[in-house]
Amino acid sequence: MPSLQHVVKDLLASGAVEVVIGYEKAPGQNRTRPFFARTPEDADRLVFDFSALNNLAVYLTRQKRPAKGKIGIVAKGCDARAITMLMQEQQLTRDDVHVIGMECSGVTAEMGADLSKDTLAAKCVTCKVQTPPLADTLVEGPKDYERPDDRNGARMRELEAMTPEQRFAFWAGEFDRCVRCYACRQACPMCYCEQCVAEKNQPQWIETSATLRGNIAWNVIRAFHLGGRCVGCNECERACPADIPLGLLNRKLGMVAGQEFGYAAGMDASAPTLVGTWDKSDRQEYIK
């Protein structure tokens, strides 16, 4: 299989794409950062390793695209699901992008750490898309690693065992720390509304100051807006300065979508969206 640099050089030299969104090594640091390669020579700056944390699909939403023409993008499996979801929601057409799918053995939870069982991101422990489900070119890489216990699975079972009152108290305690910076929204490829509900004031749906009531409203409404759409990249949780376990909340909604409707977000660009379709045979029991 060709290397990432060869693929990108060919795409840019042939004019097949205007730009390739990928990762470069951050100078002097054990981490990568997003990089836009615009010339064949730029391709030599691209890297891909366990520190390729960012979900670059965030740059593909209509307001943020770095080029008018076709865009190349380096995508791990979880990122490819976000690209697919953007196609399902008509934010992108299949012809708008050339997806360079990276076979992926996992990334670290935090920038700067070396990869180990302890530092492996929680999303990678249960990952089923180490080979991206969407790719125009596939770049081979290691796919297997020793997986630690599913720490988020254990936390989920603890939460599920709680009474509704205990669960509310748990989440109220977490949301109390929210400073309403909206970093979660900015990092999320599926949060692309031109005007977010958090900023609407006629009517005002959500208190804008960081009060517990407003924080609960913001986080619960955002979670519902991501129901059946979240692809589990966990960028929102990584961006959160208050360490709120947003991944746990989003994972639960994804589990409900799977259990109730057999639906997984971002796995098939031709599939209808979960919230945009209705069928007489849909289960109704959960609406109580």
By CB under 6 A, is residue 181 in contact with ligand SF4?
Answer: yes
DSSP 203-253: T--S-SS--HHHHHHHHHHHHHHTTTT-----HHHHH-TT---HHHHHHHH
Residue 263: CB atoms within 10 Å: 18
By CB under 6 A, is residue 78 in contact with ligand SF4?
Answer: yes
Residue 205: CB atoms within 10 Å: 12
By CB under 6 A, is residue 180 in contact with ligand SF4?
Answer: yes
By CB under 6 A, is residue 76 in contact with ligand SF4?
Answer: yes
Shortest Cβ distance from residue 244 to ligand SF4 (Å)? 5
By CB under 6 A, is residue 130 in contact with ligand SF4?
Answer: yes
Count the site residues for ligand SF4 by CB under 6 A: 39
DSSP annotation of 272: P
Shortest Cβ distance from residue 221 to ligand SF4 (Å)? 12
What whole-number distance in Å separates Cα of residue 81 and Cα of residue 57? 9
By CB under 6 A, is residue 60 in contact with ligand SF4?
Answer: no
By CB under 6 A, is residue 101 in contact with ligand SF4?
Answer: no
The burial of 167, by beta-carbon neighbours within 10 Å (0-12 exposed, 13-18 middle, 19 or more buried), is given as middle
Query: How many residues would you count in the chain?
Result: 288
Residues contacting residue 181 through CB under 8 Å, at least 6 positions apart: 241
- Site track for ligand SF4 across 156-175, x = CB under 6 A: --------------------
φ, ψ of residue 234 to 5 degrees: the values are: 70, 15
Give the closest residue to 235 by CA, choosing from 7, 5, 83, 78. Answer: 78
Give the closest residue to 254 by CA, choosing from 282, 277, 284, 223. Answer: 223
Give me the residues paired with residue 98 across strands: 72
Which two structure tokens, joined as six digits, stand for 288? 């109580």
Which part of the chain contacts ligand SF4 (CB under 6 A), choosing from 30-38, 59-67, 92-100, 181-189?
181-189
The whole-angstrom distance between residue 147's C-alpha and the CA centroid of its chain comes to 21
Nearer to ligand SF4, 33 or 180 (CB): 180
DSSP annotation of 148: -
According to CB under 6 A, which one of 179, 211, 255, 282 is a site residue for ligand SF4? 179
Nearer to ligand SF4, 5 or 215 (CB): 215
- Site track for ligand SF4 across 184-213, x = CB under 6 A: x--xxxx-----------------------
- Site track for ligand SF4 across 228-267, x = CB under 6 A: --xxxxxxx--xxxx-x-----x-----------------
By CB under 6 A, is residue 7 in contact with ligand SF4?
Answer: no
By CB under 6 A, is residue 183 in contact with ligand SF4?
Answer: yes
If you count DSSP H runs as helices and E runs as strands, how many of each does the chain have, helices first?
9, 6
By CB under 6 A, is residue 103 in contact with ligand SF4?
Answer: no
By CB under 6 A, is residue 134 in contact with ligand SF4?
Answer: no
Q: Which residues bind ligand SF4 (CB under 6 A)?
A: 76-78, 82, 104, 106-107, 121, 123-124, 127, 129-130, 178-184, 187-190, 219, 226, 230-236, 239-242, 244, 250
